[in-house]
Amino acid sequence: MENRIYEYLEKLEREKDIEILLACETGSRAWGFPSPDSDYDVRIIYRHKTDWYLSLSEHKDSVDLMYDDNLIDITGWDIRKALRLLYKSNASLIERIQSPIIYKEKEDFIKDIQEVASVLYSRKATIFHYLGLCKRSLSEIDINNEYKLKKLFYALRSAVACMWIVENEIMPPIVFTDTLEGITIDSDIKKRIYELIDIKLGKDETYLHSGEKDLFNYIEGCIDLAEEKAKELSTGDKTYNLDNFFRTIIKETV
């Protein structure tokens, strides 16, 4: 499948006349708990030639494509849009620049953008993002009936990310177990989460689960603590000159 992804990325560069700065995996494969039938969520950051940015007209600054009967999902942002989102500590962008699965990277791009992200990183903005995801995921689960296990993991991942942000100054990792190992958590809860990871790795996306009252209580406790602490968190250095970083990137084109 990776070879197909590489082919689609090269085709995209040719057809759109762009250069991909980063192409990586997100979603459950990057989080570390994919189902056997999980699709491929490929996310890209790309740049146009310099003249593209020197226009009075506004151009489309994103791509959204599906391949192989929706098994491969390739979406992404132009570098200018990506940096505008980075300035706001967009959590989706923070995740993808830390992805462990890289399909394509312009030399040193990840290192450079991670350095910028660490300066701009707003714990407050990021925790509100994960709080919203956590609450929304919980609202989609009826704990008195069977539910999709992946829905529980969406809530768990967001809850654990909230706890990381409360306890740590740096950005939360994208890999779920890395985040889990970096927070204070009851040993029995952690053990059960690892058991559920093993279950999910062997079950299709449609697998229905039930129970786990202790985990739902844990998630609700994370929400309560995150809401209590959110307003006290730092917001990042908004004096950083992001324009200089942007100009450096687009000046490398011809």
Q: Which tens digits make up the pLDDT trace of 150-187?
A: 999 999 999 999 999 999 999 999 999 999 999 999 99
pLDDT of residue 41: 96
Neighbouring C-alpha atoms within 13 Å toward the C-beta of 56: 0
Q: Is 28 exposed, middle or buried (0-12, 13-18, 19+ CB in 10 A)?
A: buried
Residue-wise pLDDT for 132-149, tens only, equals 999 999 999 999 999 999
pLDDT of residue 137: 95
Give CA–CA dist 111/98, Å, rounded: 10
pLDDT of residue 18: 95
Q: 3-class DSSP state for residue 41?
A: strand
pLDDT of residue 185: 97
Give CA–CA dist 189/52, Å, rounded: 52
H or E segment to which residue 62 belongs: strand 62-67
Which parts of the chain register pLDDT below 70?
252-254
Lookup result for tokens 């290192």: 111
pLDDT of residue 83: 96
pLDDT of residue 253: 61
Nearest by Cα to 159 from 214, 100, 215: 215
